[in-house]
Every structure is written in C-alpha cells, then in structure tokens.
Amino acid sequence: MLRLFVLLLVLLNGAYFAWSQGLLHSVGLAPEKQTEPERLSKQIKPEALQLLSPEELKKLLAPPPVGLRASECLQAGLFTQVQAEVLRSTLTANPAVGVWTLDAASDPARWIVYMGKYPNADELAKKRAQLSALSLTIEPLLSPELGLGLSLGHYPSQAAATAALEGLSKRGVRTARVVMERPEVRGLMLKLKTTEATVQAQLDLLQPALAGKALVTCP
C-alpha cells in the first residue's frame, strides 16, 4: 500500500511539472501566461524616459517665480517736482523697466464730518461709545492735527459732506461739523507699462526713487 502511495505521489509531481512548464499545451493543458507582452506595445516612447539629478528635479518641481505679466500697467504717485526729477533720471538710466510717463495729476480735497476735539482720551472713548450705540461708523483720521476727534465719514467735496451732516443730524448727532481734513494735492503720476523683458529685479532698482510710494496696478 505504501509503495502504491509513493508511486501515485511521483506521478502527480511529474504531471504538475509537465503542466507548469507548458509541456501539455498541445492537449490544452497549460497555465495562463503572466508575461502580458501587450503592455509593451502600449508604452509611449519608452526611450524618451530621462533620469533627473536631485538638482534638476528640484528646479522642475519648484513653483514658477511670481513676477509681472507682460504689458501690465503700474502706477505710483503723486510726486513733487523734485521727486519727479530723481525718478525721471532713474527711469532714463534703466530703459529695460518698460515704457513710462510722468503726467500731471491731483488728489482731490478730503472733507469729513468731524466731532471733537475732546479734552482727553476718556471723553473721546465716551463719545465713541455713544456713536456706536447709534450704529454709526467711525473712520480713522488721516490728519494728526485732528487727533482726539472722530470722523463720521469722508467726502470729495464740502457740499457732499454737508449733505451727509444733515442726514446725521436727523439721527441724533448734534455737535458734528464739516471740516477739510486734507487739501487738494497736485503733483505728477508715474505710469509704467511693463514688457516681457521687465523683471522684478529691474523694478527694484526704482524703489529708492519712488519716495516710499508703492507701484500699484492701474485702475
């Protein structure tokens, strides 16, 4: 009995070996092919694969530099005549920054509905609380000379501020008045049209000549 079992085991092992090696393929007995050669035919230009060094990979994955778009219009101002001369010299010496103009411009006068001055910070805080209770908006003051006071709105003309004061009077505001917070300012406005050759480093050369004024997108 033992001999028969051993003989049967040898026959089974032999049959499995023949099956696994594809020797029985002619009779329809063979394992499924796992090589999948059709995948090779689906590859797109495998010879185009390229190994990158760590430095090249870092450059590839790095975000693009934040710069200026081509033909973007920037402006800054207003400049006095003296400031404009310094700026004009800098622009002339750096033509790569783009096409520029310095034109006469002005900021209109700023009128506000004003309350104050109050004798001390406590009185100022008390009045601020009263106005907040009336749901009135309080704006920051631009002029240090009007400190210890409150602005209830700014306007481009005295007439507009006066009309606003009349409306506030109907809401319970009694001691406010119209004052000019800032007179009209005249000067020169820089407009700069950047080009594809313009880079941030070149615009940085202008910073000392901008007298603290920021370049912003043209309206």
> What pLDDT digit, counting tens, does each position of 133-149 carry?
888 999 999 888 898 99
Mean pLDDT is lowest, of 45-49, 52-56, 164-168, for: 45-49
Residue bearing the bigger pLDDT, 40 or 15: 15
Q: 102-130 pLDDT, tens per residue?
A: 999 998 899 999 999 999 999 999 999 99
pLDDT beyond 50 at 68: no
C-alpha–C-alpha distance, residues 160 and 113, integer Å: 10
What average pLDDT does the segment 75-94 reach?
91
Instruction: Return the pLDDT at 42.
Output: 56
Mean pLDDT is lowest, of 59-63, 99-103, 155-159, 175-179, for: 59-63
Percent of the chain clearing pLDDT 90 (strictly above) = 38
Q: How confident is the model at residue 217 (pLDDT cuts 50, 70, 90)?
A: confident
Tokens of 162: 């006066």
Residue bearing the bigger pLDDT, 10 or 167: 167
**Which residues are CB-contacts of 52 (< 8 A; sequence separation ≥ 6)?**
60
**89 phi and psi angles, rounded to 5 deg:** -65, -40
Residue bearing the bigger pLDDT, 85 or 72: 85
Residue 188, beta-bridge partner list: 79, 104
Domains of the chain: 73-106+185-217 (3.30.70.2030), 110-182 (3.30.70)
Residue 114, beta-bridge partner list: 151, 177
What average pLDDT does the segment 9-25 reach?
64
**Average of per-residue pLDDT values in the chain:** 79
pTM of the model: 0.50
pLDDT beyond 80 at 179: yes
pLDDT beyond 60 at 158: yes
What average pLDDT does the segment 51-63 reach?
58
The 3-class secondary structure across the chain, one letter per residue, is CHHHHHHHHHHHHHHHHHHHCCCCHHHCCCCCCCCCCHHHHHCCCHHHCCCCCHHHHHHHHCCCCCCCCCCCEEEEEEECHHHHHHHHHHHHHCHHHCEEEEEEEEECCEEEEEEECCCCHHHHHHHHHHHHHCCCCCECCCCHHHCCEEEEEEECCHHHHHHHHHHHHCCCCCCCEEEEEECCEEEEEEEEECCCCCCHHHHHCCHHHHCCCCCEECC
Tokens of 41: 């035919």
Instruction: Return the pLDDT at 65.
Output: 40
